[in-house]
Chain A
Amino acid sequence: MIRRGRPTSFVLWQVTLSTLAILVLSFALRATPALADEEDDIQRQVDTQKAGVPDLEHLDTQHAARADIQRLRQWLGEAWDLRNKHDPDGAREVLDRSLSQAELIRQIIAASQAKAEVAAREAKLQKTKLSIEQTKQALRDTQAKKKSLEPVLGS
């Protein structure tokens, strides 16, 4: 019963849809070059940051930033997904956050290395103090021995 005759409203609806489709398509076709450039730029940034992740992992000898590196990977993946979904703004936002995260990771690694060095130096100092104590004890023992031997020398 419907196919027997198309109402005017339906036609108008189809016309409107077609017009919108043409407009969207024309807009899309006109906007594509700029979007492609931005996506390329995002891709480069993502690649650059991804390339830096193994370096960070390598630097993280203390495994102090393992979870943060994992989170960075996740966010870089997220940025890549957003880029693929043609959401450059979202991707850039995630990339900015990833940059900050990478800086945080570097600082955490540097801090952990510094702490490790402190611990090593503390240990070395402690060892030296122990050596001092042992040497002083040995000195006291030797002095006592010397004192006990002096009468022998004098006689």
Chain B
Amino acid sequence: MKTTIKTKRIMTPRFVRLLAVPPAIALWLGACATPPKPAALSTYEALQHDRNLEETRRRFPDLVASAEQFGQKADQEWQSNNLDDSTKAALMAEIKLRTALARNDQARAKARLEVLTTEQARADDDLGDAKKDLESTTEQVRLIEQADQDKKKLTQQIATEQDERQRLTQQLALEQKHAGAQLALRTAETVDAPRYAPSDYTAATAMMAKAEGEIKQGAVGLALTSLEVARTRAEKSIEIAKPLYEQAAQATQNKMRDETLARDAAALPAVAVRLERRGELQRLVIAIPNLFVKSQTTLPPDKESSLEPIARLIVKYPSYPVQVVGHTDNRGKVGELIALSQSRAQAVFSALVVKGVEARRLMVSGQGPNEPIADNKIAAGRAKNARVEVIFLYH
């Protein structure tokens, strides 16, 4: 063994041994140099750059001072190459400093909370005020809108009422027109317009039917026009028919009166009654024979009283003009006979006036022998011809 070692020493060159010197020196120097900084110490040192450190120091000086003491110890131990102790001290330093920073954070948060509380209270007040204002304004707007709606509703109601009034007015006008047209039609019928004014009456009736159809359809304007036309045509038919109708009615009435007069006259005693026509004129002739004694012009008293029924008849029918005409037979001169007949008519006239007949209704004349009604050759004929006639003149 010793031999081998010796051989090795012999075989080791000197330069090789010289090469081992620098690493050995380096190792020696390395052993004497500062060791790597522990991670905990680096962490602590990093914490010292925290932006809140100064504020934290002001608030928690003891805690920060304690951390710094640990930090200094950690640094010293590191400088002394006691890495384990350095780490332990650095950890404590870190814990203390972070605790201080955390408490500072709490203090900051607390301060911020106080500010926030104040701001929140103010904001709540502002919000409350704004909500109140909004509520108030909204209520005002609601009221205005309500008022506007009420106004619109009222306006609409007024318009509706106006429409209704207008409708009623139209309805009333329509009914009035309708009634007017109907009245005109009825009036036309009363004057027998279908007979006397058939074209206008038919047109009015047709227009009335048309108007009633238009009323059913609600075409008020058209109906009004149609009713107006119907009324106009009906009135025109009345205008045409009325005189004709009245004329006819008058004729009928006259005829009836004439017939009554004739019946009443026929009932008179001791007179001869006849109807005769002279041209357009019709007349009722009451011939009273034997009133006068021969050639006399004075009525004997008994004969005068026989005129009483005739006088009543004349009074009863006041609308008839009456002629009192004297007649004679043909014995004598014509002139004398006419004078005689006129005097006798005058005597009858006077007697009738005395009995109540209006003198102005009576016309007196004497025809003499000019209008014989029987044969003058025989006595009975001459007796008939010597007469006084009371003549009712028909219209």
Contacts and interface: CB of A to CB of B under 8 A. Distances in A.
A129 B113 CA distance: 16
B105 A114 contact: yes
Interface secondary structure of A, over-half rule: helix
A52 B214 CA distance: 104
A104 B102 CA distance: 8
B92 A128 contact: no
Interface in B105-157: 105-106, 109-110, 112-113, 116-117, 119-120, 123-124, 126-127, 130-131, 133-134, 137-138, 140-141, 144-145, 147-148, 151
Interface residues of B, number: 36
Contacts of B133: 139
Contacts of A138: 134
Contact of A122 (B95, B110, B116): B116
Interface in A108-154: 108, 110-111, 114-115, 117-118, 121-122, 124-125, 128-129, 131-132, 135-136, 138-139, 142-143, 145-146, 149-150, 152-153
Contacts of B120: 121, 124-125, 128
A16 to B, nearest CB: 31
Contact of B124 (A111, A118, A128): A128
Contact of A114 (B113, B124, B134, B148): B113
B88 A149 contact: no
Nearest to A96: B92
A73 interface: no
A149 B148 contact: yes
B355 interface: no
Given A131-B127, A149-B145, A142 B98 contact: no
Interface residues of A, number: 34
Given A118-B112, A125-B116, A142-B141, A111 B127 contact: no
A129 B144 CA distance: 30
20 contacts: A100-B92, A101-B95, A104-B99, A104-B102, A110-B106, A111-B109, A114-B113, A115-B105, A117-B109, A121-B113, A124-B120, A128-B124, A131-B127, A139-B133, A139-B137, A142-B141, A149-B141, A149-B144, A152-B151, A153-B148
Given A97-B88, A139-B133, 13 more contacts: A100-B92, A104-B102, A111-B105, A114-B105, A114-B110, A115-B105, A128-B123, A128-B127, A132-B123, A135-B127, A138-B134, A142-B141, A149-B148
Interface of B: 88, 91-92, 95-96, 98-99, 102-103, 105-106, 109-110, 112-113, 116-117, 119-120, 123-124, 126-127, 130-131, 133-134, 137-138, 140-141, 144-145, 147-148, 151
